[in-house]
Amino acid sequence: MMDLKTATTKQLVAEYNRLTGKNIKKFSSRAAGEKQVLAATNKPLSAVALLPPKAQKVKGARRVKGAIAAEAAGRPVIDYLVTLTPTKAQSHPNSKSLRRQLIEWMEKRGTPAAISQIEKHFGRSMRGPISKLREKDWLATTAVAE
């Protein structure tokens, strides 16, 4: 350990940054610097330092929620039947958006589909896009009786 009284302020900053992993430029005062370096040297390893590093994210992987996740977890799936409304709204979703893809898929399909079917087809939760399309009068939903 270094002698805090004889070390330069620059050395104290470097030692503090090394001990804490931070990147400070200076202390508010020399006394505060000595105090912080002393506290950092006496500090036990935190629980965070003992944890293994986070797993690397896999490109293209996403967290799946909604009916797919409920089914995988063994929870009951509350489903709704989604139908296109006969009257089209004034607004049109962007041609590359999920909402537009959903509308085109429903038009091509020609028959109503359950939310769970839609989510399986798209491989992700579609409750957000469905909700927005209901808001804009593109879709209607009805509860499926069990």
Residue 71 and residue 43 share a domain: no
Is 77 part of any domain? Answer: yes
Q: Is 32 left (phi over 0), alpha (psi -120 to 50) or beta?
A: alpha
> Which whole number is the average pLDDT over 132-144?
81
* Residue 19 pLDDT greater than 70, yes or no: yes
25-56 tens-digit pLDDT? 999 999 898 888 888 887 654 444 444 555 55
pLDDT score at 62: 47
Strands 139-143, 113-114: pairing kind: unpaired
Residue 115 and residue 73 share a domain: yes
Residue 71 and residue 41 share a domain: no
Where would I find the beta strands (DSSP E) of the chain?
80-84, 113-114, 139-143
Residue 13's pLDDT band (boundaries 50, 70, 90)?
very high
Phi, psi of 129, rounded to the nearest 5 degrees: -60, -40
Residue 86 and residue 124 share a domain: yes
Residue 138 and residue 72 share a domain: yes
CB atoms within 10 A of CB 23: 8
Residue 18 and residue 82 share a domain: no
Q: Give the C-alpha separation, 99 to 131, whole Å.
A: 10
Domain count of the fold of the chain: 2
Is 119 part of any domain? Answer: yes
Residues of the domain holding 136: 67-143
Residue 72's pLDDT band (boundaries 50, 70, 90)?
low
Is 57 part of any domain? Answer: no
Strands 113-114, 80-84: pairing kind: antiparallel
Phi, psi of 2, rounded to the nearest 5 degrees: -85, 155
Residue 138's pLDDT band (boundaries 50, 70, 90)?
confident
Determine the distance from the C-alpha atom of residue 90 to the mean position of all C-alpha atoms in its chain, rounded to a whole number.
32
Residue 46 and residue 92 share a domain: no
pTM flag (> 0.85):
no
pLDDT score at 28: 92
